[in-house]
Chain A
Amino acid sequence: MNAPLLSVTDLRTVFDTRAGRVCAVDGVNVEVRRGECLGVVGESGSGKSVTFASVMGLVRSPGRIDGGAIIFDGRDLRTLTPQQMRKVRGRDIAMTMQDALTALNPALTVGEQIGEVLEAHDETLPSSRGARNAAIRERSVEMLSLVGIPSAESRLRQYPHEFSGGMRQRIMIAIALACRPKLLIADEPTTALDVTIQAQVLELITDIRAKLGMSVVLITHDLGVVTEHCDRVMVMYAGQVVEEGPVREVIGSPSHPYTKGLLGSIPRLALRGQKIKPIEGQVPDLIDLPAQCRFYSRCTLRQDVCKSLISMREATPGHSARCVLVGKDRP
């Protein structure tokens, strides 16, 4: 049980575009332990969504996974057939999308959209048609109630447009959790919501995580959210992980100049709801990146050694960053 639930090593995901090959994810390692919540932060375009779309096997053309291993619960997902992968998606690993308003199908009722995931994965359902439908219905109502949707029974017949944004986010979470996944990937679950609803949705995810004992990957822009809800955090920049470690350490004493920049340059406890502040300069073009520190052009502390390949270095045990200023080389 001590092996991590998800262990991604040296993942590379590229998009072959007209302008050239975009290296959206370049040598990323991710580890998610059982029962923990991993926060993933970084400016938009840093490769957070593509990393976890790769884990789900949902990278769309012109993108493809170019290398790496994705070990989930002892199996390399990259070696599975599409059929086997379909059994993992929705059942073992579930995902909620960045935008709840567009992630639910406008032409299907909410009941159908919850029911179909149970239908696809739940082997405990009775086999006779009638009993099966009744069981699916019952479970759907249960899930909607779990995420706090009142009078769930009657709302199953409604379409997504009949719900508010916050409600749709909850429905998406209900769908994702319907089969009690071992891992939930929540891609910016709160970005589109207003503050009070944000808090409710996050409480909900944290509650259910405790109840079901699942692991959560929480992708977010909000460092306050990370401080409050995550055990560990991973900072991404231009397709690479630049810092990772326990939340208290990374937020409390960030090692990478980029993380410091995100926290408002001076190490201090992130304020509740603090958003990522823009840092001077721009994220480099991901096509034909030079073999040097990717933050070089924006870094106030840059040196000549930064113009070479930089690997992750350990600051303290379990806390490392991709910067020459950090202690010793990682073992």
Chain B
Amino acid sequence: MSLGKLIERLIQLIPVLLGVSLIVFVMMTLTPGDPVQIMIGDQAVTPEQEAAMRRDLGLDRPIVERFFVFLGNAVTGDFGTSFYHKRPVSEVIAERLPATIELSLVALIVALLTSIPLGVLAAIRKNSIFDRIATVGSLLGVSLPGFWFGILLLMLFAVHLHLLPVSGRIGYSAEIEPITHLLLIDTLLRGRFDAFLDALSHIILPAITLGLPMTAILMRVTRTSMLEVLRQDYVTFAEAKGLSRRRVIFRHALKNALIPTVSVAAIETGSLLGGNMIVETVFGWPGLGRLVVESIFLRNYPLVQAAVLFYAITYVLLNFVADILYTVLNPRVKL
């Protein structure tokens, strides 16, 4: 399937991207507030100067024309110039992207490492106190607003206990020359273990906050599919073979139970992108999410447009990854 399916997915992507562009474009222009007014602030400018600014930004053109100009440029990879930074949007986004990727990856790892063991445990101790607590916990995890939980963590660990920093990605004293731009890796590559710990202490709270809903969902998925699998004949047969309990649970049951978990994880990684905006804002994390939030307030149209397109592409690709993982993990589905 791989190549044909990939091409199919890429073709499907085209209407998605067109639709997303149109919606974002319309919503941004309908939002009250004028980028030129925001840039001017309380400086004194003449109407001529203001008109010149508007012309520079291309905002004097009719909206339909602006949309097609945007599309035409976007096809060639030109997303325009950020109103605020006065630099190409792609350059600004590229700068902020590593922080977001790093945060998302750590959140994903935290979510996988906690949800799978908890889900397995809840399944094999079905209806125990642990299972009940886990059920309530996961319900809270899905429904608690991210910013609220994030602020709670901040108050506890940063403000009250002074165990962890309040915001940012790394302390000034720990800054290093980048290699991959992922600080946890770069600090280790440079042999700066102190800086690694510093980066780790910065990332841990936002990663937990970001990963919480995903942890909750994956735990439920793992628990449900594990319960389903434990009922299967092949698990009874594995027990009839006199295998150790560990082997029955992890090799026979979990290997099958993880198939839905991994697929859902890949899809849910897409929703981390949305969570990033809130979490990065709460924790002052210098990533794409916070940039997008700032840009919305500044009515920085080109940047928001490009970022949303980027999110849409990532989302579709992650769905594709989910399909591939499903095939790889499930020998019954022919490649």
The residues of A with any CB-CB pair to B shorter than 8 Å are 56, 58, 60, 82, 86-91, 94-95, 97-99, 102-108, 116-117, 120-121, 159, 161, 172, 175
Contacts and interface: CB of A to CB of B under 8 A. Distances in A.
A88 B242 CA distance: 7
Contacts of A121: 242
Contact of A108 (B232, B240, B255): B255
A90 B241 contact: yes
Interface of B: 232-234, 236-245, 247, 251-252, 255-256, 259, 329-332
Contacts of B232: 102
A86 B237 contact: no
Contact of A89 (B241, B259, B331): B241
A276 B84 CA distance: 84
Contact of B233 (A82, A103, A175): A103
A106 B330 CA distance: 8
A86 to B, nearest CB: 5
B240 A89 contact: yes
Nearest to B234: A105
13 contacts: A56-B240, A58-B239, A58-B240, A87-B242, A90-B242, A94-B240, A97-B233, A102-B233, A102-B234, A105-B255, A107-B256, A120-B244, A161-B332
A159 B241 contact: no
Contacts of B238: 105
Given A107-B255, A108-B252, A161-B331, A116 B233 contact: no
**Ranked 4 nearest A-B pairs via Cβ:** A90-B242, A89-B242, A90-B241, A102-B233
A159 B332 contact: yes
Contacts of B256: 105-107
Given A99-B233, A105-B234, A116-B247, A159 B242 contact: no
A117 B243 contact: yes
Contacts of A82: 245
Contacts of B239: 58, 89
A94 to B, nearest CB: 7
B243 A86 contact: yes
B243 A105 contact: no
A212 B150 CA distance: 66
A95 B237 CA distance: 8
A322 B247 CA distance: 44
Contacts of A56: 240
